[in-house]
Amino acid sequence: MTRTDPDTLARAQLQERLGSGARYDAPSAPAADLLLARRGTAYFARQLNSFTDAQLDGPSAFAGQTRRHVVAGVAFHARWLARLVAAARLGLEVETIVEPELMLEDIELAATLPAHALRYLFRHSEVHLSVEWRDLPDEGWLRTVRSLDGRSVRVDATPLMRAREIWEAARTLNGSWRSSDIPAAISGPPKPGVTSQ
> Average pLDDT of 79-92?
96
- Asked if residue 192 has pLDDT above 60, the reply is no
The residues, ordered by sequence, that sit 6+ positions from 120 with a Cβ below 8 Å of its Cβ are: none
Q: How many helices (H) and strands (E) does the chain have?
A: 7, 3
Sheet with 144-146, edge to edge strand ranges: 144-146, 152-154, 194-195
Considering the entire predicted model, what is its pTM?
A: 0.84
pLDDT digit string, tens, across residues 136-165: 999 999 999 999 889 999 999 999 999 999
29 alpha-carbon distance from chain centroid: 14
- Asked if residue 189 has pLDDT above 70, the reply is no
Q: So what's the pLDDT on residue 163?
A: 96
With H, G, I as helix, E, B as strand and everything else as coil, classify residue 94: strand
> Which segments within the chain are labelled E, that is strand?
144-146, 152-154, 194-195
Q: How far is Cα 138 from Cα 157, in angstroms, rounded to an integer?
A: 14
Q: So what's the pLDDT on residue 190?
A: 52
Q: So what's the pLDDT on residue 197?
A: 43
> Average pLDDT of 167-177?
87
Q: How far is Cα 43 from Cα 5, in angstroms, rounded to an integer?
A: 31
Q: How far is Cα 141 from Cα 137, in angstroms, rounded to an integer?
A: 7
Identify the band that residue 1 occupies on the pLDDT scale cut at 50, 70 and 90: very low
Q: How far is Cα 59 from Cα 144, in angstroms, rounded to an integer?
A: 37
pLDDT digit string, tens, across residues 88-131: 999 999 998 766 555 556 899 999 999 999 999 999 999 999 99
Q: How far is Cα 172 from Cα 183, in angstroms, rounded to an integer?
A: 16
Mean of the per-residue pLDDT values of the chain: 87
Q: So what's the pLDDT on residue 4?
A: 64
- Asked if residue 194 has pLDDT above 80, the reply is no
Residues in the chain: 197
Query: Which of 32, 73, 83 lies closest to 188 in space, CA to CA?
Result: 32
Q: So what's the pLDDT on residue 13?
A: 79
With H, G, I as helix, E, B as strand and everything else as coil, classify residue 122: helix
Judged by average pLDDT, the poorest of 15-29, 30-44, 120-134, 156-170 is 15-29
Q: How far is Cα 82 from Cα 141, in angstroms, rounded to an integer?
A: 13
